[in-house]
Each structure stands twice: as C-alpha cells, then as structure tokens.
C-alpha cells in the first residue's frame, strides 16, 4: 500500500463514526444493557430490573445519555464526511454543529429529551452557549462569504450533508417518541432476585 492509498483510507475511516452514532441513537434503549448484565447491580433492592417508577426513570435517563453520545459521535462523522466531500473545514463544522444544535433546540423548546424523556431541557447552560455561538458564527460566516470565499463550493454537497446531519437524529428521536418513554425492553436484564447488592 502506497502513501496515497493510506491517506485515502485514513480520510474515509472516520466517516464510520456517523454509522456508529446512528447505531447508538437507534439502540439507545438497549445499548446499556450489557453493562447492567455484567454488573447485575441493585442498591437496596431498587435498581434491579423491574417495573418500579424509579428504575424506569433511571433507565430512561441512561437511554437519553446514550442517545446524546450517539448524536455527538454522529456529528464527528458528519465532519469527517465533509472532509471527504472536499468542503472547507469551517463548513464541515457548520454541518456538524447544525446536527447537534437541532437536538439542543428541541430540548430547550419542548423540555424533553429528543427521545421523549420529560424534564430534560438540554446540557448545562455553558455548553448550550458555546454550541449556539459556534453555530451562529459558522452560519454568519457562510452567509457573509458565500459569494466570495465559498463561490466554488458545491452547495448540493453542502446542503445535502447538512440535511442528512439534521434529519437523521431528528427522525430517530421521533421514532423513539412514538413509544412512551417509560417503555423499555427488559427481558434480557437481570431479575430483581438475581441482582447483586452493593
């Protein structure tokens, strides 16, 4: 393998982060099951697999965390894909931040996670401010410099990538919201009497 081939593969490899992110978001309600199965833990009999409202709330929050991890990984994949498409780096960040900002805006407006868990209005305020500032600056940059710095940019590639980056997390979140946030597949989790007490 020569150096140019290796560089080509090195550019393509990070694109698979987008696939990993989609899997994390799509499977967020069961992605944490292997962890619980390995530890099989409970504390005072509460956090074993059960229909307890405390367990269901905890399970939903863990699922939300895995969804957000998936969204961030997916954003990294969008950035890598923008590199392969030959978009300027700052426009790749614009697409990636657009992918993440839509989930943050959803949480801020509807006061629930993208997958429907109530009472979640987004990350801590400093993180919201930084992400919003990045998105606003990169958006303003494109608007101001579209006719000059970016006149040769293929807008079909740019806005196609942005549409994928915004639509996929939104669609996966909407799919999760079609079911009640309390509903979790739990057949593969340890029963209360099998769980370890710590």
Q: Which residues of 178-189 are buried (b: 16+ CB within 10 A; e: fewer)?
A: eeebeebebeeb
Question: What ranges do the domains of the chain cover?
Answer: 15-189
Segment 168-183 mean pLDDT: 85
Other C-beta atoms lying within 10 Å of the C-beta of residue 92: 22
Rounded Cα distance, 8 and 178, in Å: 41
Please say if the pLDDT value at position 198 is more than 50: no
Tens-place pLDDT, residues 39-54: 666 555 555 566 666 7
Residues 6+ apart with CB under 8 A from 49: 36, 55, 186, 189, 190, 191, 192, 195
pLDDT band for 160, please (50, 70, 90 cuts).
very high
pLDDT of residue 159: 96
- 8 Å CB contact between 33 and 68: no
Helices (H), the chain: 3-12, 16-26, 33-39, 53-84, 89-110, 125-145, 155-177
- 8 Å CB contact between 32 and 186: no
Which two tokens mark 75?
């954003």
3-state SS assignment for residue 178: coil
pLDDT band for 116, please (50, 70, 90 cuts).
confident
| pTM for this entry | 0.85
Task: Out of 29-33, 38-42, 161-165, pick the least confident.
Answer: 38-42
Rounded Cα distance, 158 and 94, in Å: 10
Rounded Cα distance, 97 and 107, in Å: 15
Tens-place pLDDT, residues 81-91: 999 999 999 99
pLDDT of residue 192: 55
- 8 Å CB contact between 71 and 103: yes
pLDDT of residue 33: 74
């Amino acid at each position: 393998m020569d150096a140019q081939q290796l560089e080509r593969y090195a550019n393509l490899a990070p694109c698979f982060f987008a696939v990993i992110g989609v899997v994390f978001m799509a499977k967020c309600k069961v992605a944490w099951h292997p962890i619980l199965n390995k530890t099989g833990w409970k504390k005072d009999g509460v956090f074993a697999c059960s229909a307890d409202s405390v367990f269901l709330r905890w399970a939903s929050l863990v699922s939300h965390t895995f969804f957000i991890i998936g969204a961030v990984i997916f954003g990294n994949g969008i950035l890598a894909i923008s590199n392969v498409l030959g978009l300027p780096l700052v426009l790749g960040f614009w697409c990636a931040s657009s992918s993440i900002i839509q989930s943050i805006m959803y949480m801020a407006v509807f006061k629930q996670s993208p997958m429907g868990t109530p009472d979640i209005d987004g990350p801590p305020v400093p993180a919201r401010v930084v992400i919003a500032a990045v998105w606003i600056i990169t958006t303003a940059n494109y608007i101001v410099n579209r006719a000059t710095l970016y006149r040769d940019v293929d807008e079909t590639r740019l806005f196609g990538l942005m549409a994928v980056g915004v639509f996929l997390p939104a669609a996966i979140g909407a799919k999760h919201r079609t079911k009640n946030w309390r509903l979790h597949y739990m057949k593969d989790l340890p029963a209360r009497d099998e769980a370890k007490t710590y």
